[in-house]
Amino acid sequence: MASKKSKKAKQKNTQHPKTQVSPRKATVPGFWKDKTKLLLSFLALLITFLVFSDALNNTWVSWDDDRNFMENEWVQNINASNFWEYTVNIFTSNVIGGYNPLTVWTFALENLTFGSDDAGLRWWHLNNILLHLICVFLVFRIALLLKLKPLPAFLVAVLFGIHPMRVESVAWLTERKDVLFAAFYFGALFYYIKARLKGKEYGNIAIIIPLFILSLFSKIQAVSLPLSMIAIDYYLSGKFEWKSILSKIPYFVLSILIGSIGYLILSEEGVTSDSTGFNFIQRLFVGSWSYLIYLVKLIYPYEMSPLYPYPSSFENKFYLSAIPFFTLVGALVFAWMKKAKIWVFGFLFFTFNIMFVLQIIGAGQGFTADRFTYVPYFGLFFIMGYFYQKLDVKKLWGKIVSGLIVLYLALFCWMTYQQIGIWRNSYSLWTYTIGLYPKTKVTWGNRANWLRDNGYRTQALADYSHRLTLGSDDPEPFNSRGKLYFQSQHSDTLNLALSDYKTAVNLARSKAKVNQSYKDKLPEYLVNLGSTYARLGYNAEAIKTFTEAEQLNPKNRNIYFNRSITYHNIGDYSAEIKDLETYLKFDPYNGMMWINLGAAYRLTNQFAQGENAFARAKKYTQIPNLYIEEARIFIAQGKFDQAKANVRILVQNGIQLPSDLAVLAN
């Protein structure tokens, strides 16, 4: 009976399908329609912007900013006519031994658009902040994709945004490469995670690969992307699989290719050479110490400095760091065995992104750097967000912890805001660093250079003198102090400059035999020495010194510029023309040099060539001297109407006429 009733029931249901009620599948609103997520993301961005807003008042600092853009010809001389040529030059060159052409190119774009005076640099700093905000937004989205709820994801994003260890990457213009590479890096991870969640191993690859390439062109640290992808695969699946590694081959190929190019450039520039004298085993312990320091500074970011100098000798603390380091490794292996994947993922992400900058291979001037943590800290911030999600905020204990987190974040905001001011200019930066490391040579030298260049001669001289008490075997402080003396027109101080430049040259010559960096600097010192000879009237010695510099580095354009002046002073205009023509092969957009060349052509009666030189000069400059010299070449040919036209331009602009042109004004 039961079976018959059952069949009838089925028949009845089949005959009346409209009477069946099918449950609706719950839908989760997309990010852009979720008001809570939008509000929290906006709040994270607003907090970060307010904290970093004071960076808009910063200028540039003499800590690689000078060589990256203030003295970089591709940045300073770019214009509409040479835009593509200079772009190619940027992408085929390195700066200070680093290959980050996209970063340098953004500087060139900013200089072209805003200029590089203090007002223009406000826009440069704003762009750094905006790139940081993009990273904060992407971190929030990635945290959501990795199954954090909106409030814990907000915590991760705010920590990433306002942590004091971010300051170096955002407030220092040179470190544009951090925020730029990270914006593309996190963008690539975002699209990778979206594809993985849909079960597509190679999904979004057409977006990810270009983002990865842009990230690599911004900073070589981006080579860790495929390792970060493997860490994410583990977090999503809870296990390591060979197919996860094999699917990253296209990304590993790009990493190896760009990484090898970067390493070769670093090697050629001598950046990978070890200046500390530590052997490889010792450097491993330096690496373990640095790793632990970064973990400590995650919680308590103490003594943030642009430079963490190596100790004068290897210290026992580096050996002792192996104990907590390997204890941590053992704890993570235990966590992996217990399938506590949050710990494994967080520390893997941190390790994969920090391990290439632990100074195990090669040695810079310091063994740690705040900027190195920019991307790596995401893994540790994510652990914090994950455990905050486990907290019951409705209970008393949850409320207490939440309150403490708010106070902790407020403390970080204050520390970050204070740290930004240290990067205001070179003087504030190096004065602060001297307070931390008063026996570090480079800090005194850099502050002295700023004081010299800003007219504080007495204070600069005091800093140079103190720098030399810390060691007088380096040619650079003598060269720098020589520049201070050279600025004076008095013969006494010029002789002091001559003495300092001679010392710099002799020291560089002796050290060049064993150190390539000194050999590279020697032509600069010789040019300065030659210029001082010329200023004192020792023209034969000047030309001899410039020629020696040319033999060492024929691509140094300053040789030809300074020697051309010397040739002009002694009346050897043919030799002057040769040097100016050589100079303009290196810098064809220098209007002043075209004017000098035109004047030299006039003095050798090469009038047609002179007029062509002045025509070229007009493309790049409109300074009064251009019209003065061009008028003279017109007069030399009897072209008085054209000369008078130039004189009228000068008079209309209120320029006082030299005596030989004044007669044409009547």
pLDDT, tens only, 98-127: 889 999 999 999 999 999 999 999 999 999
Query: Poorest-confidence range of 59-63, 235-239, 365-369, 644-648?
Result: 365-369
pLDDT of 629 > 70? The answer is: yes
Q: What is the pLDDT of residue 29?
A: 72
Report yes or no: 350 and 376 within 8 Å, Cβ to Cβ: yes
pLDDT category, 73, cuts 50, 70, 90? confident
Query: Poorest-confidence range of 5-19, 257-271, 551-565?
Result: 5-19
The structural domains of the chain, ordered by start, are 32-422 (no CATH), 588-666 (1.25.40.10)
Report yes or no: 587 and 77 within 8 Å, Cβ to Cβ: yes
Q: Which amino acid belongs to residue 484? A: L
Burial class of residue 564 in the structure, from the number of CB atoms within 10 Å of its CB (0-12 exposed, 13-18 middle, 19+ buried)? buried
Q: What residues form DSSP beta bridges with 98?
A: 95
Residues, the chain: 666
Closest CA relative to residue 290, chosen from 222, 231, 373, 221? 373
Burial class of residue 659 in the structure, from the number of CB atoms within 10 Å of its CB (0-12 exposed, 13-18 middle, 19+ buried)? exposed
Q: What is the pLDDT of residue 517?
A: 77
Q: Rounded mean pLDDT of 450-455?
A: 92
Q: What is the pLDDT of residue 14?
A: 45
Tell me the pLDDT tens digit for each residue of 238-279.
888 888 889 899 999 999 988 887 777 766 655 555 556 777
Q: Which amino acid belongs to residue 289? A: W
As a whole number of angstroms, the distance between CA 140 and CA 442 comes to 39
The torsion angles phi and psi of 309, rounded to 5 degrees, stand at -65, 150
Strand, helix or coil for residue 165: helix
Report how far apart the first and last C-alpha atoms of the chain are (Å, whole number): 129
As a whole number of angstroms, the distance between CA 617 and CA 588 comes to 10
User: Cα separations (Å) of 420 from 158, 166, 170, 298, 336?
Assistant: 17, 10, 9, 18, 39
pLDDT of 56 > 70? The answer is: yes
Mean pLDDT of the residues in the chain: 89
Strand, helix or coil for residue 98: strand
As a whole number of angstroms, the distance between CA 281 and CA 101 comes to 34
Strand, helix or coil for residue 79: coil
Q: What residues form DSSP beta bridges with 366?
A: 309
pLDDT category, 620, cuts 50, 70, 90? confident
As a whole number of angstroms, the distance between CA 287 and CA 360 comes to 6
A 10 A CB-CB count for 148 gives 21
A 10 A CB-CB count for 478 gives 24
Closest CA relative to residue 408, chosen from 386, 388, 436? 388
pLDDT of 552 > 90? The answer is: yes
What count of Cα atoms within 13 Å lies in the side-chain half-sphere of residue 421?
Answer: 4
Q: Rounded mean pLDDT of 322-350?
A: 95
DSSP element (H, E) containing 521: helix 516-535
564: Cα separation from own chain's centroid: 35
Q: Which residue has the tokens 């790139």?
A: 131
Token code pair at residue 282:
């010792």
The torsion angles phi and psi of 366, rounded to 5 degrees, stand at -140, 160
Instruction: Quote the pTM value.
Output: 0.86
Q: What percent of the chain has pLDDT over 70?
A: 93
Token code pair at residue 586:
């290196």
Q: Rounded mean pLDDT of 447-468?
A: 94
Strand, helix or coil for residue 360: coil
Q: Rounded mean pLDDT of 162-168?
A: 97
Token code pair at residue 80:
């509409």
Q: Rounded mean pLDDT of 347-364?
A: 84
DSSP for 385-439, written as a single string: HHHHHTS-TTSHHHHHHHHHHHHHHHHHHHHHHHHHHHTSSHHHHHHHHHHH-TT
80: Cα separation from own chain's centroid: 24
pLDDT of 10 > 60? The answer is: no
Q: Rounded mean pLDDT of 441-460?
A: 93
pLDDT of 12 > 50? The answer is: no
Answer with the residue of higher pLDDT: 234 or 97: 234
As a whole number of angstroms, the distance between CA 533 and CA 512 comes to 23
Query: Poorest-confidence range of 204-218, 378-392, 484-498?
Result: 484-498
Query: Poorest-confidence range of 26-40, 140-154, 390-404, 612-626?
Result: 26-40
Q: Which amino acid belongs to residue 340? A: A
Burial class of residue 603 in the structure, from the number of CB atoms within 10 Å of its CB (0-12 exposed, 13-18 middle, 19+ buried)? middle
DSSP element (H, E) containing 442: helix 441-453
Q: Rounded mean pLDDT of 129-137?
A: 98
Report yes or no: 292 and 368 within 8 Å, Cβ to Cβ: no
Report yes or no: 587 and 73 within 8 Å, Cβ to Cβ: yes
Q: Rounded mean pLDDT of 519-542?
A: 94
Query: Poorest-confidence range of 23-27, 57-61, 422-426, 514-518?
Result: 23-27
Q: What percent of the chain has pLDDT over 90?
A: 67
Task: Determine what percent of the chain falls in helix, strand and coil, rounding each to the nearest 5.
Answer: 75, 0, 25
The torsion angles phi and psi of 95, rounded to 5 degrees, stand at -125, 125
- Contacts (Cβ under 8 Å, ≥6 apart) of 308: 366, 367, 368, 369
Q: What is the pLDDT of residue 266?
A: 63
Indicate left, alpha or beta for 648 from its phi (over 0: left) and psi (-120 to 50: alpha). Answer: alpha
